[in-house]
Amino acid sequence: MSEPSVQNVIIAGMSKTVTNYDYAMSELEALVEANNMHAALRIDQGLEKPNPATYFGKGKVVEIKEMGEANDLDIMIVNADLTPSQVRNLETETGLQIIDRTGLILEIFGNRARSKEAKLQVKIAQLQYQLPRLRTSMANRLDQQAGAAAGGGGGYTNRGAGETQIELNRRTIQDRISHAKHELKELNKDEEVRRAQRDKADLPNVALVGYTNAGKSTTMNGLVRLFGKGEDKQVFEKDMLFATLDTSIRQLTFPDNKQLLLSDTVGFVSNLPHNLINAFRSTLSEAANADLLIQVIDYSDPHYKEMMDTTETTLKAIGVHDVPMIYAYNKADLTEASYPNVQDDQLIYAAKDEKSLQLLTKIIKEKVFKNYVTTTLLIPFSDGEVVAYLNDHANILKTDYLADGTQLKVELNAVDAQRYAHYEVTPA
């Protein structure tokens, strides 16, 4: 199947109302590209505050109309969250389809959702965004996507049928939101059962978090390649914003038999729509329940500090507090920095470099296995199954065969240390 053609669009913003405006616009341009569009034209305005009716000033609106006609462009993406009336007025006065920042991100998520859970989460956010916008072209566009994401038809909006029809559409959409929330709740119950089973296994949980396209999936794939089970699949990775929306979990087993669960979460972006944060709260709960977070940072991006701020803000928004964190500065191979290099909880590395991954592994293990204990056990020959279990699940440091059994100097997690405490002896 051939790739859909890229659509040329205008991007526009208000420079005096946004901190780090050039960074915000470059991020908007990246989001546009992630939506299979190209920012063919950029329009900036320096008003101190937006026009309540059209966001941009009257003269700028005329300029936008003329620039759109001169360049044969039909869509403008605005780096702000617009009110429904601002969208309507801008569309009327410019003849362009207007998409605001939240609408753009929702479109990207709608196109990228693959699992049933992700599709439902995005559908809820899209429909909540759509409710006050039933008369705008954006509502039609998102309504079609929300219907498609759920496997059903869209097109509930009918702007020509009068106010009664608008009210009917609003009730219909509210019903669809309620139905989607119910479906998602049932899926979350299943996920809670799976999480309880993982917790019962008593394996540490490590979660990769960070800005979208920082290299989380590449990092995970590298670690899975080194320490995953043979049947473990690689997660999808691509050099684009929001390449994947689904949380992936893989089990890693190290040469010393220590094991952990590694999860790759959806990436963050500045001013992520609140509806999406709420919708993806269950997915991002892997981060909230983790024993250790690895914040993956694109060290090659000049705005990486702003990206770190975005990550911290989003983690707080989803209720992640007091979880230990490693700061992993990725893509060092695209900078002049030497790598791999570690200082305290900060690692400079390249996700495709094996030495970097080995050093990252060392840091992870020091954090999550610090409560392991080293002890000596004397196990009678009649309890050979215990020796077999420990050989498979523990780090055997020394083995001695004595007259009354097998003596093991072994490194154990707290659960196994308590379970086999009655075998503990003081070595001669």
- 298 touches 242 (CB < 8 A): no
Nearest residue to 390 via CA among 402, 378, 8, 338: 378
pLDDT of residue 2: 54
Distance CA 171, CA 230 (A): 50
**Backbone dihedral angles phi then psi of residue 46, each to the nearest 5 degrees:** -110, 30
Q: Identify the segments of the chain with pLDDT beneath 70.
A: 1-4, 135-163, 190-201, 230-246, 278-285, 428
pLDDT of residue 43: 95
pLDDT of residue 247: 72
- 251 touches 203 (CB < 8 A): yes
pLDDT of residue 279: 61
CA dist 17 to 53, 205, 346, 423, Å?
16, 41, 34, 68
pLDDT of residue 280: 64
- 219 touches 330 (CB < 8 A): yes
pLDDT of residue 157: 42
Distance CA 250, CA 224 (A): 7
pLDDT of residue 179: 93
pLDDT of residue 387: 95
- List pLDDT tens digits, range 21-31: 888 899 899 89
- List pLDDT tens digits, range 181-196: 898 888 877 666 665 6
pLDDT of residue 156: 41
pLDDT of residue 354: 96
**Three-class SS of the chain:** CCCCCCEEEEEEEEHHHCCCHHHHHHHHHHHHHHCCEEEEEEEEECCCCCECCCECCHHHHHHHHHHHHHCCCCEEEECCCCCHHHHHHHHHHHCCEEEEHHHHHHHHHHHHCCCHHHHHHHHHHHHHHHHHHCCCHHHHHHHHHHHHHCCCCCCCCCCCCCHHHHHHHHHHHHHHHHHHHHHHHHHHHHHHHHHHHHHHCCCCEEEEEEECCCCHHHHHHHHHHHHECCCCCCCCCCCCCCCCCCCEEEEEECCCCCEEEEEECCCECCCCCHHHHHHCCCCCHHHHCCCEEEEEEECCCCCHHHHHHHHHHHHHHCCCCCCCEEEEEECHHHCCCCCCEEECCEEECCCCCHHHHHHHHHHHHHHHCCCCEEEEEEECHHHHHHHHHHHHHCEEEEEEEECCEEEEEEEECHHHHHHCHHHECCCC
pLDDT of residue 109: 83
- List pLDDT tens digits, range 359-372: 999 999 999 998 89
pLDDT of residue 117: 79
pLDDT of residue 139: 44
AA letter at 360: L
Model pTM score: 0.78
Measure the CA angle with vertex 124, ends 118 and 125; round to 5°.
90
pLDDT of residue 122: 84
